[in-house]
Amino acid sequence: MTEFNVNKQFTLLDRAARSIDGKRILPIISVMSKKVSDFLDDIPFIEANRGLQHQLIRDVGMASSTRRRFYGKVVSTHRPSQTSFEPIALLERRSEVDEDHIDTLENPTQERQNQDIGHMEKLGEDLANAFFHDDPADGSEFIHGLEPRLNKLNQTLKNTYDGGGSGGDTTSIYIVEWNTRDGAMGLFPPNWMKNTRFGIAARNKGKERVGDTEATGYYYAYVTQFKAWLGLAVGNERKIARITNLEATIGATNSFESNGDALLIEALNLGRFDKARTRIYMNETMKTQVDIVAQRKSNVNLRIEMAFGKPVETIHGVPLRVVDNTIIINTETVVTA
């Protein structure tokens, strides 16, 4: 695939290459899309209850009930709980297009739309990456993503499973129940999300004076600002799961083909999943392995079902989503206890 220098400055040659006759810009076909729209569509968002963070209170156990005889006493009990705070972060992008580039086109709206769509798509990809991989240990501008919640093989919660791989070419499958009561849910700060898609807001700022790339001067540009606030909260930690250490190489020992389907069944059955609200996420490499296994073995329950007039692949009755290999990668660090 052709490589692009994303920091390269836009030139007159670039404009000529992207136009029909030097005056009309052609639409840009996105080849960098990371297949994240289904993932973002799955997430139910709620308003954070503490501004830029969200407070959760979880049960940590209850005393047994009293078996009472007549005139016997009942021992008083309380409901022990654990409090956690989930952070919210801001992702932002900014499009700056030279005013003279826009003002000398016959279809200036098309060019600004081209630029804006690209920024929106990239911000959506960054959102998906954050939901999977962000770790608040990296700083206050990071949320608590799925991967750091499931980064140890956990025999107590039964939510992280070992596929057996040990090399530098392993990947994972994630299982998530999206449920604003006690499952996983997205977060946004008060008064956000109105008139946004996936929580992404685009604001046309008009013309602004901006600095050039060498920081030696200024020019005027048409500016669009893009913002997305996001957070992730998980009520019951047994409503998320990860099957990790799966070899990405097709046909390898400890790939999905060897015991991945058995681990998937175990994770679904030992978790606390409501299948109607649950989704399975894997990358394209792992989906290829699933398809190969389904072709060879009739007992792999991979089906196409209709949901709201749209065909949806399900495995063991749970909708399956495929995201790009750059989001759920094939070179994960091996997860241990």
Tell me what pLDDT residue 31 has: 44
Straight-line distance from the first to the last Cα atom of the chain, in angstroms, rounded to the nearest whole number: 38
State pLDDT tens for residues 269-284.
999 999 999 999 999 9
Task: Return d(Cα 241, Cα 234) in angstroms, integer.
Answer: 11
Which of 139, 141, 162 has its CA nearest to residue 150? Answer: 162
Beta-carbon contacts of 276 under 8 Å, excluding residues fewer than 6 positions away, are: none
Give the pLDDT of residue 4.
38
Q: Are 37 and 121 in contact (CB under 8 A)?
A: no
Determine the distance from the C-alpha atom of residue 281 to the mean position of all C-alpha atoms in its chain, rounded to a whole number: 9
Query: What pLDDT is recorded for position 32?
Result: 44
pLDDT of residue 208: 95
Domain range annotation of the chain:
12-59+82-323
Residue 166, SS3 per DSSP: coil
Beta bridge partners of 288: none
Place of tokens 């060498």: 214
If 0-12 CB within 10 Å is exposed, 13-18 middle and 19+ buried, where does residue 266 land?
Answer: middle
pLDDT, position 310: 75
Q: Which pLDDT does position 2 carry in this prediction?
A: 35
For the chain, state the CA radius of gyration: 24
> Structure tokens of 247?
């070899």
Biggest distance spanned by C-alpha atoms of the chain: 96
15: nearest Cα among 2, 7, 24: 24
Query: In the numeric block, which tokens belong to residue 229?
Result: 């606030």
Q: Give 223's contacts (C-beta < 8 A, 6+ positions apart).
A: 94, 95, 96, 204, 205, 206, 207, 208, 210
Q: Which amino acid is at 274?
A: D
Whole-number mean pLDDT of the chain?
86
Positions of the chain with pLDDT under 50: 1-13, 15-17, 20, 25-26, 28-32
Answer whether 315's CB lies under 8 Å from 279's CB: no
Task: Read off the DSSP letter of residue 199.
Answer: T
Q: Where are the beta strands (DSSP E) in the chain?
A: 45-47, 53-59, 81-98, 160-162, 170-177, 184-188, 200-211, 218-234, 240-247, 278-283, 302-307, 310-315, 318-323
Sequence-ordered alpha helix ranges (H) in the chain: 12-17, 37-42, 99-103, 108-133, 146-149, 261-270, 284-296
pLDDT at residue 33 in the model: 59
Residues in CB range of 186: below 8 A, 6 or more apart: 43, 44, 45, 46, 131, 199, 230, 231, 232
Amino acid (1-letter code) at residue 269? N
CA dist., res. 46 & res. 51, Å (int):
12
Is the separation of the CB atoms in 241 and 161 below 8 Å?
yes
Instruction: Identify the residue whose tokens are 């792999």.
Output: 300
Q: What whole-number distance in Å separates Cα of residue 313 and Cα of residue 315?
A: 7
The confidence score (pLDDT) of residue 89 equals 96
